[in-house]
Amino acid sequence: EEVSALSEKQTVFKGEDEKPENPSYINLQTQITSTQMDIETTRKECNLLKVKYEEYQKRVENTPQVEQEYLVLQRDYSNAQAKYQETMNRLLAAREATGLEESRKAERFTLIDPPVVPEKPDRPNRLAILLIGMVLAIGCGIGFGSLSEYMDESVYRADELAAISGLPVLAVIPYLETEEDRKKMMQKKWVWIVSTAGLVIIGVAAVHFLYRPLDIVWIQIIQRFSIGF
């Protein structure tokens, strides 16, 4: 409307004065040009605003879909973060367990059940050693006795004397024991008693230290007798 009014005024002024040097004409022409430029600028701004409006309209229309995708991404991120935290916790726990195991290597362990002492040793076979020793001792005793008797050239009976001399024995005078002889016989008896007692003690000690402790042997004997009765 403003442009139309200015055009009408321009026509009137043209009729009055056709010279372009007319100030009123120049002023109107300038106003028309300026107004046309403003219109063009305003039209461009309207087009830009229309484009922006359409863009914002599309954004508004796509907002639910974008929000849903954002929620999915946020959920995946939360799951990944939870798995990462769980993995880190397991790694820390494993490192702590490894450190505890390494620090406890030099510690003393507490046994739930005390160690059981075996009733008899696995090796060597002490019973066989004792039996072999007894057999060797008896054999050596018999051997030394036989050897000493074989080498003894003393005469103990009348027939032995007759056989050696070739003459008959007319009489045999018995040996009369004196007090000194009886003391010697008593000493020999005590020697035999002490020797026998010593052998018994040595045998018991050998059984205790070489075969099996005497307390275990005693318990086994009692158990066998209790089972038998």
Q: Could you tell me if 28 and 13 are in contact, meaning their C-beta atoms sit under 8 angstroms apart?
A: yes
CA atoms of 171 and 115, how far apart (whole Å): 78
174 upstream amide cis, omega within 30 of 0: no
**pLDDT at residue number 15:** 46
Query: How many H-runs (helices) and E-runs (strands) does the chain carry?
Result: 6, 0
**pLDDT at residue number 10:** 52
- Interacting residues of 126 by C-beta distance below 8 A, sequence separation 6+: 210, 211, 212
- The token pair at 181 is 């002889």
**pLDDT at residue number 21:** 66
CA atoms of 10 and 31, how far apart (whole Å): 11
Spans in the chain with pLDDT lower than 50:
3, 13-19
Other Cβ atoms less than 10 A from the Cβ of 41: the count is: 10
Q: Where are the domains of the chain?
A: 2-75, 124-174, 177-229
Q: How many residues does the chain have?
A: 229
Residue appearing with tokens 């019973």: 127
Other Cβ atoms less than 10 A from the Cβ of 211: the count is: 19
- The token pair at 160 is 């032995």
**pLDDT at residue number 186:** 92
For residue 106, what is the DSSP state? T
What is the Cβ-side half-sphere exposure of residue 165, based on CA atoms within 13 angstroms?
11
Amino acid at 121: P
**pLDDT at residue number 16:** 45
- Interacting residues of 3 by C-beta distance below 8 A, sequence separation 6+: 32, 35, 36, 39
CA atoms of 31 and 99, how far apart (whole Å): 91
- The model's pTM: 0.33
Q: Which residues of 194-205 are buried (b: 16+ CB within 10 A; e: fewer)?
A: eeeeeeeeeeee
